Amino acid sequence: MIADTSFLVALFIEEDELHEKSINELEKNKKEILITDRILEETFTVICYKKGVDYALMIFEKLKNNKDIIFYQLSEEEIKKIYEIIKKFRKKLSFADYTVIYLALKDNEKILCFDEELNKTINYRRRIQD
Amino acid sequence: MYMVKLISLSEEAYKVLKQLKKDSMSFSDTILKHLNHERKNKTEDLEGLIKWIKSIKSVSKKEKISKNVDEIVYGIKR
């Protein structure tokens, strides 16, 4: 499974209206979660601004020590491919979102995401790929 | 019977692997050994993470959290 920032933020910020939903999703699918370096940066930044740097660091440690969480570092070659996807899709999404799109389409993995635009884009592209 | 697989490595990766590899080990053994070692150092799993998230809960107001940092920094969505 590939996690997006919207899911991770909802999971770790209990004030988020999707907090319970994110826990339920995780309880339903206890499989390995892949987090790209860009998603990790984006998540850290949002949590840091909303809950403070100490909490953001604690979350980072929690993720780092979890054997079911895989941090995925994008190679230069993959970043080039992501640029190509951006040029092709032309959707107003963050670069981090595009890293999720890239992996979701490449590996046909389930995504943990509450961003409607991102879900719509991935589902549409999967349909036309089939 | 042995299965032979050809893989390509960068020069840098080859150098690192060669340093870690013992004479009795293949390159695949070396990669697996170090991957497993890395994994063993990780003590938690998803079950534990869910329990931890539930344990830190307090009573707070629900709100829509934006992931757009600019909006958070400049308070546009407050």
pLDDT in tens, B60-78: 566 666 666 565 555 444 3
* Max intra-chain CA distance, chain A: 45
B20, B30 Cβ separation under 8 angstroms:
yes
Cα separation, B27 vs B29, in Å, equals: 5
Helices marked H in chain B: 11-20, 27-40, 46-55, 69-74
Q: pLDDT at residue A60 above 80?
A: yes
* pLDDT (mean) for A87-110: 90
**Main-chain phi, psi angles of B36, to 5 degrees:** -65, -40
Ramachandran quadrant class, A72 (left: phi over 0; alpha: psi -120 to 50; beta: rest)? beta
Residue of B nearest to A50 (CA): B72
What's the mean per-residue pLDDT of chain A? 91
How far is residue A3's CA from residue A10's CA, in Å, rounded to a whole number? Answer: 11
Average of per-residue pLDDT across A108-122? 88
- pLDDT at position B6 is 66
pTM above 0.80, yes or no: no
For residue A96, the chain B residue with the least C-alpha distance is: B67
List of chain B residues whose C-beta atoms are within 8 Å of the C-beta of residue A45: 69
Which residues of A are less than 8 Å from B8 in CB distance?
none
B2-55 confidence digits (pLDDT tens): 666 666 777 777 877 787 888 887 777 777 777 666 666 777 899 999 999 988
Q: What confidence score (pLDDT) does residue B78 get?
A: 35
**Which region among A35-49, A79-93, B30-44, B56-70 has the lowest average model confidence (pLDDT)?**
B56-70
Residue A7 has pLDDT above 90, yes or no: yes
Q: Which of B49, B53, B69 sits opposite A49 (nearest CB)?
A: B69
Of B18 and A15, the one with more pLDDT: A15
What number is the average pLDDT over the span A103-121?
88
| Of residues B42, B47, B61, nearest to A15 (C-beta) | B61
Q: What is the pLDDT of residue A126?
A: 80
Euclidean distance between CA atoms B66 and B78, whole angstroms:
10
d(CA B36, CA A9): 29
Burial of A99 (0-12, 13-18, 19+ CB in 10 A): buried
pLDDT at residue B57 tops 60: yes
User: A100 versus B58: which is more confidently predicted?
Assistant: A100
Chain B environment of A25 (Cβ under 8 Å): none
Nearest residue on chain A to B36, alpha-carbon basis: A67
Are B50 and A27 inside 8 Å of each other by CB?
Answer: yes
Which residue in the set A10, A42, A65 is minimally distant from B43, CB to CB? A65
Tell me: pLDDT of A43 over 50. yes
Give the residue from A4, A18, A40, A46 with the most B CB atoms within 10 Å of its CB, the best one to mutate.
Answer: A46
pLDDT of residue B5: 64
